[in-house]
Structure 1
Amino acid sequence: MAMIGNVLLTIMQIYSYAILIYILLSWFPNARESSFGQMLARIVEPYLEPFRKIIPPLGMIDISPIVAIITLHFARYGVMALFF
């Protein structure tokens, strides 16, 4: 069971890195329109979409990815509690 927990924790950590990279891509012009940016959007946007519906942007700043990463972090704690 610990191996399954380790795999899930690793996947969740990689996914949080993918969200972070996706956020950083917004700082560079046309980076999200590149093939890498579009592939990352297909992976990350389904998770970010519910947070964007709940949390409106504050002017030009979208804080929903930050809340999504924090939620994913708490989910990691839940996985640790279940498997370890």
Structure 2
Amino acid sequence: MYYFTLFINYLFQILTFLVIVRVILSWFRAPRTGPLYNFINESTEPVMRIAKKITPKTGMLDFSPIVAIIGLNLLQEAILYLITYAS
């Protein structure tokens, strides 16, 4: 059970890191092609799509990455709590 909780923890940390990398990459005018960019974009798109539906339109500022990171952290804590205390 310990290794499963460790795996879940690492999975959410990697996904949070990829969201942060996606935000940083969006600041640059580099071409949005290539296997690394496609991997980051495809890995984070489901989370970002949900976060964009939740956040209101605020003009030029996009708060959806913050909502996505908070949502990922809440989901991680809930899953780890259920795994730890439900068994």
> TM class, shorter-chain normalised?
0.7 to 0.9
Structure 1 vs Structure 2 CA RMSD:
1.4
Q: Provide the C-alpha distance between the structure 1 equivalents of 2:56 and 2:26, rounded to a whole number of angstroms.
A: 17
Q: 1:22–1:40: 8 Å Cα contact kept in structure 2?
A: yes
Q: Quick one: which amino acid aligns to residue 80 of structure 1? A: L
Matches within 5 A, 1:55-70: 55-70=55-70
- Aligned-residue sequence identity (percent) comes to 29
Aligned-partner Cα distance in 1 for 2:83–2:54:
31
How high is the TM-score relative to the length of structure 1?
A: 0.87
| TM-score for both structures, normalised by structure 2 | 0.84
Runs of 4+ residues over 3 Å off in structure 1:
none
- Corresponding pairs, count: 83
Partner of 1:45: 45
CA distance in 2, matches of 1:50, 1:24: 20
